Amino acid sequence: MVSISKELLKEIFEGARRLYPKELILLLRGEKDMNTVKVSELVVPPLATRGRGFAAVPFYMLPIDFSIVGTVHSHPSGNLTPSTTDLNHVFGLILMIVGFPFMDETNVAAYNRKGEKLKIFVNG
Ligand SMILES: [Zn+2]
């Protein structure tokens, strides 16, 4: 399961809307507690070129930082299913995808490294 506050989710949606129709990519900072990945902070990937697409971010060049639990990126198409490219570039524990129109909890999905869909608990 993935837990995230309503406020953080709103920030992601706002960022995704700002970059639309390009892709937003952010790192998720947080911690894993039992079976729950708790997202507590958003981090702009240092080498990301804004809007160039998820696969264009050279995650392998990032310093190893164990507080990064995964990534989130936007799908301007609105489709919440990860692409093969997405699943080949999972960084951390979870891959979160937000889809157009970036409005509410039906516009977000999260997956583990195997591509299995995880439950998202939005709190606050
Ligand atoms: Zn994608």
Q: How far is the CA of 123 from the centre of ligand 1 (A)?
A: 25
Quick one: average pLDDT of 55-74? 80
| pLDDT at res. 65 | 76
Taken in order 104, 5, 24, 75, the sign of the CA dihedral is negative
Nearest to 91 by CA among 10, 46, 15, 26: 26
pLDDT per residue as tens digits for the range 80-123: 999 999 999 888 999 999 999 999 999 999 999 999 999 999 99
pLDDT per residue as tens digits for the range 6-27: 999 999 999 999 999 999 999 9
Q: How far is the CA of 58 from the centre of ligand 1 (A)?
A: 15
E-strand stretches of 6-67:
25-33, 36-43
| pLDDT at res. 47 | 65
| pLDDT at res. 54 | 75
pLDDT per residue as tens digits for the range 24-59: 999 999 999 999 999 999 998 776 666 667 767 777
| pLDDT at res. 48 | 61
Q: E strand or H helix at 98, and its extent?
A: strand 94-99
Instruction: Give the residue ranges of DSSP H helices in 20-63.
Output: none
pLDDT class of 66 with cuts at 50, 70, 90: confident
| The length of the chain, given as a count of residues | 124
Predicted TM-score (pTM) of the model is 0.91
Instruction: Return phi, psi of residue 96, to 5°.
Output: -105, 140
Q: How far is the CA of 81 from the centre of ligand 1 (A)?
A: 8
Q: How far is the CA of 44 from the centre of ligand 1 (A)?
A: 17
Nearest to 30 by CA among 76, 72, 80, 79: 72
Q: Which CATH topology does 2-123 take?
A: Cytidine Deaminase; domain 2 (3.40.140)
Under DSSP, the state recorded for 90 is -
* β pairing state of 117-118 and 108-112: antiparallel
Query: Taking a C-beta distance cutoff of 8 angstroms, is the pair 36, 2 a contact?
Result: yes
